[in-house]
């Protein structure tokens, strides 16, 4: 076991669960009666020959199965003509299920084999190293039926502006998170000639400067994604003239300026993502006419101003509203009922208080509720817990919410993740259902023992993984019933008034990775029971009255 004792500060380790996606998983069914065209099967075998397939993901592609290449993984054929219509060779989905998961990437020396697939409509080469395929662009543009081209996470050869390109049928182009052997800082100019393009994804490529004016040539665009770059201009007027746009993503750039009233011309917009930029002033005059908008994300900008009922009245399709990290004040009447029905809400740093916003009671489909730092002074009403008992995440932290939490709860908390930290809640700790996996009640005024919370009304193992009760007024000995909480990974009890030593049942926390009980009144010898918690990597027992020597196995 290896862990360290922290002397002055603590760290919260919260681990996200990664789900491994299967390689070449396709939503298609192919009839066993379909027999692939021999010349196209030969082309696919050439592909396999030119690929450095170190993980052997194409092992089932072999000459013994040449009469039935339509059944090979990653291949989709036409159910009538048997021509190969789609190739899904995205190696970026082959992740190892480990903390240091890596991509096992394919390497292609050339793409000449593609010329035999004249009916190919959909090609996904995501994650493949094409750095030695110097003619990749001319090879791909020669495919007369190609409509969808996906090259995300590819490594491409040094860029040079091609001539005489003719992607006559291309509708969708995804060049997200691509890298060139020699880095580029702008969108390649050949893309601006793709006049039929309806979807352009160029996120995560570190392009710089203003939004490229060549995009205005792509007048049929419905989907434009330039997120996670370093663009640093205002939104140009011509962009508001792309009337077919229904998805626009400009988040995580350095864009600035105000949002023009001309945004209202984009009446087909369904999703608008402007978060994490430097936009200013009040955008809701421009947003108010976008009646088809279902997802609006404008968080972490420099927006400010008063938002009134009229600004929101026409947003009848809105389902996701994330607008945290700005300086807005919501000014609505006490009986206001929104015209939308949200599933996700983040209004952190808005001025919503001092009263608890009663209008949220009408939003009974909410799964995510974030109203942190919003000036709320009221207790949490009983109807809140009943209306949102099935929510997945609630964050009401950094307010001035007061009162005894248990008096507003008729049933144990069942919300998956709850953050009520940095308020003025008091009384006993609330009961939990075993649906809860993340609970932060730190920096409040909860009193008395943890015994009821930890040991009573628990008839089966609890699923909680993260527990933060730091900076309260909890007292007494730490209860000895941790065996009921077998999945805990992070426990923070620092800055309370606990006495005694760690109870023996803490040794049962086989998943525990972080334990912080600094600044209490613990006494006795160093708790040797922790030797059994072999996953522990962060331990903070400072500012207590523990004695004796630190065992040699600590930090080993």
pLDDT in tens, 30-52: 445 678 898 999 999 888 887 77
Residue 91: the pLDDT is: 67
Residues 266-275 have a mean pLDDT of 97
**Fold identical between 35-93+104-170 and 183-334?**
yes
The confidence score (pLDDT) of residue 33 equals 66
Are 2 and 555 within 8 A, CB to CB?
yes
Q: What is the pLDDT of residue 105?
A: 55
Confidence of residue 164 (pLDDT cuts 50, 70, 90): low
Pick the CATH number of 35-93+104-170 from 1.20.1430.10, 3.40.50.300, 3.80.10.10, 3.40.50.2300: 3.80.10.10
In Å, the largest CA–CA distance within the chain is 81
The confidence band for 447, taking pLDDT boundaries of 50, 70 and 90, is very high
Centroid of chain to Cα 267: 27
In this model, does residue 518 exceed pLDDT 90? yes
Give the Cα separation of 408 and 424 in Å (integer): 14
Residues 178-207 pLDDT 10s: 988 666 788 998 999 999 999 999 999 999
Lowest mean pLDDT segment, chosen from 130-134, 221-225, 346-350, 393-397: 130-134
CATH assignment, 183-334:
3.80.10.10
Q: Select the more confidently predicted residue: 303 or 108.
A: 303
pLDDT surpasses 60 at 344: yes
CA–CA separation, 66 and 62 (whole Å): 7
Q: Percentage of the chain surpassing pLDDT 70?
A: 89
In terms of pLDDT, which residue wins out, 178 or 94? 178
343: left (phi over 0), alpha (psi -120 to 50) or beta: alpha
Q: How many residues does the chain have?
A: 556
Question: How far is 303 from 257, CA to CA, in rounded Å?
Answer: 10
Band of residue 24 on the pLDDT scale cut at 50, 70, 90: very low
pLDDT (average), residues 388-396: 96
List the domain boundaries for the chain: 35-93+104-170, 183-334
Q: Mean per-residue pLDDT for 66-74?
A: 81
- pTM, two decimals, is 0.88
d(CA 442, CA 377): 18
């Amino acid at each position: 076991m290896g862990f360290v004792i922290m002397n002055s500060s603590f760290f919260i380790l919260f681990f996200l669960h990664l789900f491994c996606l299967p390689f070449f998983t396709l939503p298609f069914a192919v009839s066993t009666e379909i027999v692939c065209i021999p010349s196209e099967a030969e082309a696919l075998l050439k592909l396999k020959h030119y690929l450095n397939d170190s993980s052997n993901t194409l092992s089932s592609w072999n000459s013994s199965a040449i009469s039935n290449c339509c059944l090979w993984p990653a291949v989709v054929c036409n159910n009538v003509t048997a021509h190969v219509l789609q190739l899904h060779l995205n190696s970026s989905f082959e992740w190892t299920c480990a903390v240091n998961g890596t991509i096992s990437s394919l390497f292609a020396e050339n793409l000449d084999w593609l010329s035999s697939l004249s009916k190919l409509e959909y090609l996904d080469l995501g994650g493949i190293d094409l750095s030695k395929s110097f003619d990749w662009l001319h090879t791909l543009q020669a495919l007369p039926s190609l409509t969808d081209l996906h090259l995300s996470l590819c490594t491409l050869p040094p860029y040079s502006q091609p001539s005489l390109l003719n992607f006559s049928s291309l509708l969708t182009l995804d060049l997200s998170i691509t890298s060139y052997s020699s880095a580029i800082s702008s969108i390649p100019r050949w893309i601006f000639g793709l006049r039929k393009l309806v979807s352009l994804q160029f996120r995560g490529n570190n392009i710089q400067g203003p939004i490229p004016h060549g995009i205005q040539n792509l007048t049929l665009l419905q989907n434009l994604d330039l997120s996670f770059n370093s663009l640093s201009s205002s939104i140009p007027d011509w962009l508001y003239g792309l009337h077919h746009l229904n998805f626009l993503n400009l988040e995580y750039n350095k864009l600035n300026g105000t949002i023009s009233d001309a945004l209202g011309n984009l009446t087909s917009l369904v999703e608008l993502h402007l978060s994490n930029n430097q936009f200013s002033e009040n955008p809701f005059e421009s947003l108010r006419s976008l009646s088809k908008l279902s997802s609006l994300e404008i968080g972490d900008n420099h927006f400010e101003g008063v938002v009134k009922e009229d600004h929101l009245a026409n947003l009848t399709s809105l389902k996701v509203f994330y607008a945290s990290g700005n300086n807005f004040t919501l000014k609505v009447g006490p009986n206001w009922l929104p015209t939308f029905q949200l599933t996700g809400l983040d209004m952190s740093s808005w001025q919503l208080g001092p009263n608890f916003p009663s209008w949220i009671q009408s939003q009974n489909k909410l799964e995510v509720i974030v109203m942190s730092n919003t000036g709320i002074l009221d207790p949490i009403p009983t109807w809140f817990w009943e209306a949102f008992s099935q929510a997945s995440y609630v964050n009401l932290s950094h307010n001035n919410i007061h009162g005894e939490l248990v008096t507003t709860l008729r049933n144990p908390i069942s919300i998956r993740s709850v953050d009520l930290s940095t308020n003025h809640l008091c009384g006993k700790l609330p009961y939990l259902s075993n649906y809860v996996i993340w609970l932060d009640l730190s920096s409040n005024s909860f009193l008395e023992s943890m015994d009821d919370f930890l040991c009573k009304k628990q008839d089966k193992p609890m699923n909680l993984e993260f527990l933060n009760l730091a900076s309260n007024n909890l007292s007494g000995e730490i209860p000895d019933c941790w065996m009921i909480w077998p999945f805990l990974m992070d426990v923070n009890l620092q800055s309370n008034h606990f006495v005694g030593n760690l109870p023996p049942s803490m040794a049962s926390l086989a998943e525990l990775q972080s334990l912080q009980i600094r600044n209490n009144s613990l006494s006795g010898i160093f708790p040797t029971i922790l030797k059994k918690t072999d996953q522990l990597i962060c331990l903070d027992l400072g500012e207590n009255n523990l004695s004796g020597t630190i065992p040699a196995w600590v930090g080993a």
